[in-house]
Amino acid sequence: MNAIPVLTIEDVATLDGVLGDFLKKTESDLTVVIDRGGNAISQCGDRDVMDVTVIAALAAGSFAATRELARRIGEVEFNALYHQGNGNHIFMNSVDDETIMITVFGSRTTVGLVRFYSTATAQNVAAVLKLLRRTSHGLSFDAKDISAAPVFVDPP
């Protein structure tokens, strides 16, 4: 039987606390913790104005793509990446081998402040996820809870 790792409501509350504190200190708009495959694990901030799913997929790709660039200069990977826009910017930093943290911020703050607080935040997030991976038993479903109907329908 295969099982999917689970973030319990308590885990989510802990992560939300860590990420909420980070957003408040840095005055950023949104922060998302994603796995390196592009799946969002936890998020905090103004999620309505941005498509977090797409941001997560593209950020994971962007982070992975620069890994080869890092290797060319003798690094395993870049620990952090910064994409500067005219008004809005993205800062990404590595949390652990499996996870990345993305922060979207505007002109109310600076990349220096985001970078400064992101280091400690990443360590706190990593600690929560490490505990989760060690203790989580995972979730599997009853076969009867899975719909037998086609998942997606091509309309006539």
Partner 1 sequence: MSIINYASREIQFKIVYYGPALCGKTTNLSYIHQRINPLNRGDLVSLATATERTLFFDFLPLNAVVIKGFVTKFQLYTVPGQVIYNATRQLVLRSVDGIVFVADSQWEKMEENVESFKNLSDNLALQNMALDEVPCVLEYNKRDLPNIAPANYMEYVLNNRKKRLQSFEVISSTGQNVFATLNAVSQILLHKFSKLSQTPQRESLPVAIPVEPSAPETQRLPA
The residues that touch partner 1, with contacts defined as CB under 8 A, are: 1-9, 11-13, 35-42, 51, 53-54, 57-58, 60-61, 64-65, 68, 132, 139-143, 145-147, 150-155
Q: Whose Cβ is closer to partner 1: residue 34's or residue 114's?
A: 34
Q: Which residues, in sequence order, are bridge partners of residue 4?
A: 139
**CB 3, min distance to partner 1, A:** 7
Q: Whose Cβ is closer to partner 1: residue 111's or residue 132's?
A: 132
Q: Which residues, in sequence order, are bridge partners of residue 102?
A: 32, 92
Q: Whose Cβ is closer to partner 1: residue 24's or residue 71's?
A: 71
**CB 148, min distance to partner 1, A:** 8
Q: Supply the angle between the helices 111-135 and 9-26 in degrees, to the nearest 10.
A: 170
Task: Report the distance separating Cα 62 and Cα 103, nearest Å.
Answer: 14
Q: Whose Cβ is closer to partner 1: residue 27's or residue 77's?
A: 77
Return all residues near 58 (Cβ < 8 A) that are at least 6 apart.
38
